Each structure stands twice: as C-alpha cells, then as structure tokens.
C-alpha cells in the first residue's frame, strides 16, 4: 500500500483533518514534515486566519439575513480557511447537533450557531454541550424555549440522549421525560431596542426562567434530586457509553468506520482521562498507528463538502473567482457577488445531498455510503460541467496544465489526477485517456479542443469509484 512516504502521510492527513490541498500546499507541508503539519492543523489557534467576510454586513434592506447567504458565507470560509481542522470540526458538530435553518428560520441565529461551534470546536465536551443547550438556535430548533413546568416538551431531552451523548438504547422513556423536566425554563430572550442600543447587543441571549422551571425531584439514569439541565448533562457525561459514543463517532469521521472494540475502548479512555478535551482526543487519533494504516487510507466516503471543497481548494477556486472584490463593493453588491460566486458550488452540494445549514434531520446527515446513490453520483459527475462548461470556464488549461508540453492525452489525465489527488491506479488512468480521446472533437480549434479534453477527463475522474473516497 501507499502512505509509504512522509509526503503520502501528509497528503492523507490534509485530506482528513481538512478538505485536501493543492499540490503546492502539500509540497510546503511535506517540506516541513509530518510533526509540524500536525501541530499546524491541531493547534490552529496560533495560525492566522485568512480574511473572512463580515457576515453581518450582508444583512439586506429589510434587516434580514437570509439563511442561504449565511450558507454561502460559511462555505466561503471552508474554501479559504487557513485552519482546515477547525473548519472540518465545525462541520462535524453541525452534523452532530443537526440544527436546520428550515425550522430556525433566522439567519442571525444560524450565524450564532456556526460561530459557537467553530469557537468551541476543539474544546471539551461539557463546555460544548452546555453552550449548545443554552444556544438560542438549539433552544428554538428543539423547542426547549417552550419547555415549561407542568407541560414539558421532550424534544431536546430526547435528542440530547439519543443523538448528542449516549446513543439510542441506553436510557428509558422515563429518563427522557424526567430529563425534559430538568430543562424546563431554559429559554432565550431577544434584546429589546433599548437594551440593544445601550449594550450594543443584537443577539438573543440564553435566559433561565425560574418561574417556568420544575423544582420537583427528578430521576435521570438512577440519579435523583431537584435536577437542572446542567445536572443532566453531568449525569450523561458520567455514563461510560457517552465517551465511547462521541469518541467512536469522531474516529468514524476521521479514520475509518466501525472501529474495533479495543480501539473504541482505548479512545474513550483517552477522552475521559483528558476531561473530554476534543483537541487532546484528536491529537491521539491523528497520531495513532491506525490513522496511517492501510485500513484507513482512502477508506472514507467523501461527503459533498469533502468533494466540492476538496476540488475547489486543490485548484484554489476562491482565488480564481477573485472574491477579494467582495470587500470593495457595496453591501448589495457583496451579496450579489457572494451569491453568484458561491451559488453554483452550493447548489451542487445541495444536489449531492448536503445543503449546509439544512441537515435533513436532527441526526444530521446519514453519511458514509449513504452519500452515494444514483442521484448524487450524477451530481458528482456534473460538477465537472460547473468548472468547464461555461463560456469563460472557471478553470483553464494554463492553470491546470501550465505551459508544459504534453505528448499524449495520457499525460494530461495523469496531471489532472495528480492535481485533484484522485488516487486512480495507472490502468484506470489509461482507460480514461483512451475514452477521452474518443470523445474529442478536433475540428473546433485548439482552445476548445483542450478545454473539452479537461472537461471530459474530469467528468470521468469525478465519476470514478476511486475518487469518491478520501
């Protein structure tokens, strides 16, 4: 198997702890070595972030911030970030705490949610759980803002156990009902105009409504008392199954699916011993022997984010479409440009089954092999059309191939596979080259001929089984 050289290992790490990288980025990291790359990725607080769009400036005339604009802002962040692991973890937590703008219906709340997840992406699980439980976006998404004494709403309490901590089958219906009582009164408040003016506050804030809180005795997983929401979170963190569930899920996201029993046991231990520090657990995972093993290499299905952001980053797409203009334009113009620049990419992702900010259910996306079906494969193939089909194609020959002389279609296909980190064996590259040659129309002039060559080759590369894995 590959992953024999340090460069292979660095490229693998960049695929997993990020969204892949361009050839020159891989070279740069490889020159500094695997250790330095790990530090760069994991201790991302010390890496200066690329200039980002101030999303609040994108508010429209009516004072609204439409959720699709927020998705575009976030996607732009993924495409340009200098902290790929933070971006990937933010996506992990968005998938884990599957709040959808479909129900939240408020762009500002979605911004608040994504910022929270990004800020706490590698903190400890308790901090994250409490912050998410008190986050107005979640309070609204799972209706806890209307969970009141005497008439509890079980929505949040159930998903907290089933999806956010322990996993199904480790608690009873009674536990759900009792936990719901403990979260009664957890709500949020919108600042009124005067407060906003005085404190400069525009964002809704968590509010504990004493009067709506059930002060009675509750029993959750065998622990009784006048429990509050924090107490329930502590009880859930006491359950050994919680560390196993979360650590196992992170492993499945970053290394390979269905980890061995002894691996789960080991990483759950690391997680608990490290006070549930996500950063510490990730360092363990990303330096483990298993992470660089043959079983892990190109073993994970690419999510649409891996696919789309990966391709875009490998050719520096944001640089090409020159989003820097965004910062020099009026607010209206910024919105228009962002929509235009991100629209096609976002639309593709959506059709591939991953509409950012709109996870299909609170369980997030099914992921893994479920990313692939006939509809999504057609979309993955079509992504090549987005890059090459337009009149002024986003990516041209010079950019991808440069001024080198190519003797054959084979050489062009080899180059493309290298740029896109496609992992295709030589035999398959030969098949692609042979077929591309048959599809080409030489009568339309050299420029069209070359563009068509890139286009047809990329359709086949993007549609190959190998390319669906990272």
Q: Which residues bind other proteins (CB under 8 A)?
A: 142-143, 146-148, 150-155, 158, 162, 168, 173, 299, 351-353, 360-361, 363, 366, 369-370, 372-379, 381-382, 427-428, 431-432, 435-436, 438-439, 456, 459-460, 463-466, 468-469
For residue 154, the minimal CB distance to other proteins (Å) is 5
Cα–Cα distance for residue pair 469/371, rounded to 1 Å: 11
Contact (Cβ atoms closer than 8 angstroms) between residue 300 and residue 470: yes
Smallest distance from the beta carbon of 64 to other proteins, in angstroms?
20
**In the structure encoding, which two tokens stand for residue 231, read together?**
């107490």
> Which C-beta is closer to other proteins: that of 117 or that of 436?
436
Task: Specify burial of residue 394 (Cβ count, 10 A radius: 0-12, 13-18, 19+).
Answer: middle
Which one, 37 or 242, has the nearer CB to other proteins?
Answer: 242
Q: Which two tokens stand for residue 334?
A: 């910024």
Nearer to other proteins, 83 or 459 (CB): 459
Distance CA 15, CA 9 (A): 10
Degrees to nearest 5, angle at CA 280 with 278 and 284 = 115
Burial class (CB in 10 A: 0-12, 13-18, 19+), 211: exposed
Q: How far is the CB of 288 from other proteins (least distance, A)?
A: 21
C-alpha torsion sign, points 312, 313, 317, 323 = positive
Q: How far is the CB of 347 from other proteins (least distance, A)?
A: 12
**Smaller CB distance to other proteins: residue 279 or 380?**
380
Between 115 and 435, name the residue whose CB sits nearer to other proteins. Answer: 435
Residue 26 to residue 419: CA distance in whole angstroms:
11
- Residue (225 or 425) nearer to other proteins, CB: 425
Note whether 57 and 254 are within 8 A (CB). Answer: no
Closer of 320 and 440 to other proteins (Cβ):
440
Nearer Cβ to other proteins (18/353): 353
Q: In the 8-state DSSP scheme, what is residue 163?
A: I
Q: Where are the alpha helices (DSSP H) in 45-83?
A: 67-80
Least Å from the CB of residue 170 to other proteins: 12
Residue 404 Cβ vs other proteins, minimum distance, rounded to whole Å? 25
Q: Are 428 and 469 in contact (CB under 8 A)?
A: no
| Closest distance of CB 352 from other proteins, Å | 8
Shortest separation between residue 45's beta carbon and other proteins, angstroms = 36
Closest by CA to 87, choosing from 313, 417, 273, 332, is: 313
Distance, CA of 15 to CA of 453 (rounded, Å): 27
């Amino acid at each position: 198997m590959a992953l024999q050289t340090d460069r292979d290992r660095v490229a693998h790490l960049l695929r997993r702890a990020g969204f892949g990288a361009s050839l020159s980025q891989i070279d740069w990291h490889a020159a500094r070595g695997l250790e330095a790359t790990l530090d760069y990725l994991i201790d991302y607080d010390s890496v200066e972030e690329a200039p980002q769009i101030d999303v609040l400036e994108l508010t429209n005339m009516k004072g609204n911030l439409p959720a699709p604009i927020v998705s575009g802002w976030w996607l732009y962040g993924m495409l340009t970030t200098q902290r790929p692991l933070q971006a990937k973890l933010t996506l992990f937590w968005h998938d884990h705490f599957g709040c959808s703008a479909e129900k939240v219906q408020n762009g500002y709340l979605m911004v608040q949610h994504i910022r929270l997840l990004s800020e706490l992406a590698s903190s400890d699980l308790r901090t994250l759980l409490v912050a998410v439980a008190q986050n107005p976006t979640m309070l609204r998404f799972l209706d806890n803002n209307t969970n009141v004494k005497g008439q509890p709403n079980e929505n949040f309490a159930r998903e907290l156990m089933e999806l956010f901590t322990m996993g199904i089958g480790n608690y009873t219906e009674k536990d759900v009902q009792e936990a719901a009582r403990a979260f009664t009164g957890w709500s949020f408040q919108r600042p009124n105009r005067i407060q906003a003016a005085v404190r400069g506050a525009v964002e809704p804030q968590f509010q504990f409504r004493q009067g709506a809180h059930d002060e009675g005795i509750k029993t959750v997983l065998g622990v009784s008392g006048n429990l509050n929401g924090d107490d329930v979170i502590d009880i859930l963190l006491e359950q050994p199954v919680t560390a196993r569930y979360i650590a196992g899920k992170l492993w499945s996201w970053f290394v390979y699916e269905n980890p061995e029993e002894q691996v789960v046991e080991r990483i759950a231990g690391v997680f608990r011993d490290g006070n549930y520090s996500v950063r510490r657990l990730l360092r363990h995972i990303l330096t483990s022997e298993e992470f660089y093993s043959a079983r892990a290499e190109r073993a994970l299905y690419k999510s649409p984010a891996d696919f789309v952001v990966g391709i875009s980053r490998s050719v520096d797409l944001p640089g090409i479409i020159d989003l820097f203009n965004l910062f020099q334009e009026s607010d209206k113009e910024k919105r228009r440009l962002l929509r235009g620049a991100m629209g096609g990419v976002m639309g593709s992702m959506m059709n591939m089954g991953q509409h950012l900010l709109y996870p299909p259910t609170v369980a997030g996306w099914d992921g893994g092999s479920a990313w692939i079906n006939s509809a999504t494969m057609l979309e993955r193939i079509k992504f090549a059309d987005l890059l090459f089909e337009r009149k002024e194609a986003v990516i041209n020959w010079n950019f991808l191939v440069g001024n080198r002389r190519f003797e054959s279609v084979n050489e062009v296909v080899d180059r493309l596979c290298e740029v896109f980190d496609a992992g295709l064996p030589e035999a398959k590259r030969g098949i692609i080259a042979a077929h591309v040659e048959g599809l080409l129309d030489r009568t339309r002039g050299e420029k069209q001929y070359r563009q068509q060559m890139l286009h047809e080759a990329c359709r086949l590369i993007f549609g190959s089984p190998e390319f669906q894995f990272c």
